[in-house]
């Protein structure tokens, strides 16, 4: 749960970590120097004011901190696990044997880690996109987070692994007892229709860096 006081303390902590005052942090981000002043955190009648998403985005850009870094600071202040490390491998490696079990959960060794805001799926993992086969939605170097336990509906973006070891990111167009029809994210690449017996597993993409 995000609390007003924890968000503001995290902003203060981010400023301190970069040797700045809250005013200095605002100036570095190109904001009005008073943006993060304590007097701006509540109205005169005591109503809480929250920092805008735009101001947070500018602060993260100015300091080089990621959203996950900021969420970790919020969690550190609140005492709640708002972020955790999840395993990540390159998209090209995902088709190799040993990285997933039969259910599509991450397994084996060779995984790196990234910090990601807490998710309810303890088996969530990340893939780093390589190449341009999924532009313009996903580009080379983007990170996508995949949840093996998330429910999947028509229109969801998914990662599919075939029994032959091919891994692809597509949009689910239709699924029946016999077939899985997938729409390509990049219009220059063909759609796919797979027999359900040829699908090793399919998991939903729940987040992507952009």
Q: Which of 78, 98, 125 lies at the terminal end of a domain, its last residue?
A: 78
Instruction: Compute CA distances 16 → 22, 23, 25, 79, whole Å.
Output: 8, 11, 9, 19
* Together in a domain, 116 and 152: yes
* Together in a domain, 202 and 108: yes
From the list 82, 73, 91, 87, the residue with the least C-alpha distance to 13 is: 73
Q: Which element (helix H / strand E) includes 91?
A: none
What are 115-137's pLDDT values in tens digits? Answer: 776 666 889 999 999 888 888 88
State both tokens at 68: 């996950």
Residues of the chain with pLDDT under 50: none
From the list 123, 81, 90, 93, the residue with the least C-alpha distance to 106 is: 123
* pLDDT score recorded for residue 16: 87
* Together in a domain, 119 and 197: yes
Q: What is the DSSP string of 121-166?
A: -TT-EEEE--SSTTTTTS-TT-EEEEETTS---TT-EEEEEETTS-
* pLDDT score recorded for residue 207: 86
* pLDDT score recorded for residue 57: 92
Q: Which of 60, 78, 96 lies at the terminal end of a domain, its last residue?
A: 78
The residue segments making up the domain with residue 53 are 4-78
**What is the number of domains present in the chain?**
2
* Together in a domain, 110 and 40: no
CA angle 208, 57, 29 (to 5 degrees): 150
* Together in a domain, 68 and 168: no
* pLDDT score recorded for residue 1: 59
Q: What is the DSSP string of 26-87?
A: HHHTTS-TTTT-GGGSB-TT--B----HHHHHHHHHHHT--HHHHHHHHHHHHTS--EEEEE
* Together in a domain, 13 and 100: no
* Together in a domain, 109 and 142: yes
CATH number, domain with residue 128: 2.10.109.10
Burial class (CB in 10 A: 0-12, 13-18, 19+), 111: middle
* Together in a domain, 108 and 201: yes
* Together in a domain, 33 and 111: no
- pTM, whole model, 2 decimals? 0.64
* pLDDT score recorded for residue 77: 56
CATH number, domain with residue 25: 1.10.260.40
Q: Which of 58, 78, 98 lies at the terminal end of a domain, its last residue?
A: 78
* pLDDT score recorded for residue 81: 53
* pLDDT score recorded for residue 92: 85
* Together in a domain, 89 and 186: yes
* pLDDT score recorded for residue 198: 97
CB–CB of 11/52 below 8 Å? no
* Together in a domain, 50 and 142: no
């Amino acid at each position: 749960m995000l609390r007003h006081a924890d968000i503001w303390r995290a902003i203060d902590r981010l400023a301190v970590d970069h040797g700045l005052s809250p005013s200095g942090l605002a100036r570095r981000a190109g904001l009005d120097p008073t943006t993060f002043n304590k007097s701006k955190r509540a109205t005169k009648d005591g109503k809480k004011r929250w920092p805008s998403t735009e101001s947070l985005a500018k602060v993260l850009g100015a300091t080089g901190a990621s959203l996950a870094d900021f969420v970790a600071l919020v969690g550190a202040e609140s005492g709640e696990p708002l972020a955790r490390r999840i395993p990540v491998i390159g998209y090209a490696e995902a088709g190799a044997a040993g990285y997933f079990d039969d259910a599509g959960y991450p397994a084996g060794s060779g995984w790196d880690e990234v910090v990601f805001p807490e998710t309810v799926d303890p088996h969530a993992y990340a893939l780093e996109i390589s190449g341009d086969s999924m532009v313009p939605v996903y580009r080379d170097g983007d990170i996508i987070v995949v949840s093996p336990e998330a429910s999947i509906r028509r229109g969801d973006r998914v990662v599919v692994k075939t029994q032959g070891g091919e891994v692809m990111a597509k949009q689910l167009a239709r699924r029946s007892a016999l077939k899985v029809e997938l729409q390509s994210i990049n219009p220059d690449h063909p759609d796919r229709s797979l027999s359900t017996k040829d699908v090793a597993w399919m998991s939903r993409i729940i987040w992507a860096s952009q």
